[in-house]
Amino acid sequence: MALLEKAAGQGHAYAINRLGEICRERKEHEHAVQWWTKGSEAGLPGAMFNLGCSLDMGEGVVVPDYPAAADWYRRAADAGRGDAANNLAGMYQVGRGVTRSKRRALQWLRTAAENGHAKACWNLAHLMYADLPHAREVGHVREAAGAVTSAGVMEGHDVPRDVLTGVVHWLQKGGHNPIDELAKFRRDALVGSRFCYNEGCETVGQLKDFKRCPQCKIARYCGDVCQKQDWTAGGHKEKCGTFYHAR
């Protein structure tokens, strides 16, 4: 710690960010925020992202500061942090700290995907396939999707070919298997999937039929019973209102 603090005092990026991480691991959240604030003000993208997460979750601060969290996510995303762009997309999706906007949520999701965030690549591909409003427009690419598009894999899908090319592009960029994922997308479109957040729930259906948690507007449930169970036994009471991804 003494060596890290000495290096941090000289502006060493890794030392500043690592000190914040160590403090967080020790549950010393206020000290973690202090180190990440210092690193963020020095222009370190990793510190900006971690500070955004802490402000988003209310760690080391009196209450969560969503507008400030969104601002630091944005700065980190502009510096190339895909995870920050992904979290910012989530904030625009539900209107937490920013004005709710589906289009801007998707635009930041694309930014995250362009920066190699694997989950963002999958989400963007899935939303394009499902024809979510603005998804096909935002996710459109001109690049060819490689050999997969000419191997008959794209046959049998009730989706325009240029859209499928984009879907395959993002799946490949995120390191996903286009053959397997396209089959899942098609199945979800035909018979639905398990969207209920209550662990162990086997209900299958269409996304629109699963109602959102009225507070966080992120978690979805098949009905009141599952929602009540997940609120207590599933721990959603503690997680409600947060949009956190591993640092």
Domains and CATH numbers, the chain: 1-113 (1.25.40.10), 116-190 (no CATH), 192-247 (no CATH)
With 80 as the cut, is the pLDDT of residue 195 above it?
A: yes
Whole-number average pLDDT of the chain: 88
* The predicted structure's pLDDT at residue 19: 93
* The predicted structure's pLDDT at residue 101: 92
Give every CB contact of residue 193 below 8 A, 6+ residues apart in sequence.
187, 204, 205, 207
59-87: per-residue pLDDT in tens? Answer: 888 789 999 999 999 999 999 999 999 99
5-28: per-residue pLDDT in tens? Answer: 999 888 888 899 899 999 999 999
Residue-wise DSSP of the chain: -HHHHHHHHTT-HHHHHHHHHHHHHTT-HHHHHHHHHHHHHTT-HHHHHHHHHHHHHTSSSSS--HHHHHHHHHHHHHTT-HHHHHHHHHHHHHTSSS---HHHHHHHHHHHHHTT-HHHHHHHHHHHHTT-TTHHHHH---S--GGGGGTTTTTT-SS-HHHHHHHHHHHHHTT--HHHHHHHHHHHHHH-B----STT----B-GGGSEEPTTTS--EESSHHHHHHHHHTT-HHHHTT------
Split at pLDDT 50, 70, 90, the class of 144 is low
With 70 as the cut, is the pLDDT of residue 211 above it?
A: yes
| In contact, 213 and 240? CB cutoff 8 Å | yes
Give the whole-angstrom CA distance, residue 40 versus residue 52: 10
212-239: per-residue pLDDT in tens? Answer: 888 877 788 999 999 999 998 888 887 7
Q: Could you tell me what percent of the chain has a pLDDT over 70?
A: 92
Mean pLDDT to the nearest integer, 36-49: 93
* Burial tier of 158 (Cβ tally within 10 Å: 0-12, 13-18, 19+): exposed
Q: Which residue, among 59, 61, 71, 58, has the nearest Cα to 97 in the 3D structure? A: 71
With 50 as the cut, is the pLDDT of residue 175 above it?
A: yes
Position with higher pLDDT, 159 vs 247: 159
* The predicted structure's pLDDT at residue 244: 39
Model pTM score: 0.79
Split at pLDDT 50, 70, 90, the class of 145 is low
Split at pLDDT 50, 70, 90, the class of 4 is very high
81-119: per-residue pLDDT in tens? Answer: 999 999 999 999 889 999 999 899 999 999 999 999 999
